[in-house]
Amino acid sequence: MSRTVYVNGQYLPEEEAKVSIFDRGFLMADAVYEVTSVLGGKLIDFAGHAARLARSLGELDMAAPCPDAELLAIHRELVTRNEIVDGLIYLQVTRGNPGDRDFAFPDASVKPTLVMFTQSKPGLADSPQAKVGMKVISIDDLRWARRDIKTVQLLYPSMGKMMAKKAGADDAWMVEDGFVTEGTSNNAYLVKGGRIVTRQLGTEILHGITRAAVVRFAREAQMEIEERPFTIDEAKAADEAFITSASAFVMPVVSVDGVALGSGTPGPVATRLREIYLDEMRKAAI
Ligand code: PMP
Q: Is 245 in the pocket of ligand 1 (CB under 6 A)?
A: yes
Ligand 1 atom 5: the closest Cα is on which residue?
185
Bridge-based pairing of strands 195-198 and 224-227 is: parallel
pLDDT in tens, the chain (286 residues): 699 999 999 999 999 999 999 999 999 999 999 999 999 999 999 999 999 999 999 999 999 999 999 999 999 999 999 999 999 999 999 999 999 999 999 999 999 999 999 999 999 999 999 999 999 999 999 999 999 999 999 999 999 999 999 999 999 999 999 999 999 999 999 999 999 999 999 999 999 999 999 999 999 999 999 999 999 999 999 999 999 999 999 999 999 999 999 999 999 999 999 999 999 999 999 9
User: Where along the chain do its domains lie?
Assistant: 4-122, 129-284
Q: Confirm or reject: Cβ of 56 under 6 Å from ligand 1.
A: no
Please tell me the distance between residue 256's alpha carbon and the centre of ligand 1 in angstroms.
19
Task: Give residue 257's region: left, alpha or beta (phi > 0; psi -120 to 50).
Answer: left
Structural fold of domain 4-122: D-amino Acid Aminotransferase; Chain A, domain 1 (3.30.470)
Alpha carbon distances (Å) from 221 to 107, 214, 217, 218, 276: 49, 10, 6, 5, 9
For ligand 1, is residue 151 a contact (CB within 6 Å)? no
- Marked catalytic residue, from 131, 150, 161, 192: 150
User: Which residue of 89, 245, 247, 281 sits with most ligand 1 atoms within 8 Å of its CB, as the best mutation to test the pocket?
Assistant: 245
Would residue 150 show up in a list of annotated catalytic residues for this protein?
yes
Question: Quick check: do 4-122 and 129-284 share a fold?
Answer: no
Per CATH, the homologous superfamily of domain 129-284 is D-amino Acid Aminotransferase, subunit A, domain 2 (3.20.10.10)
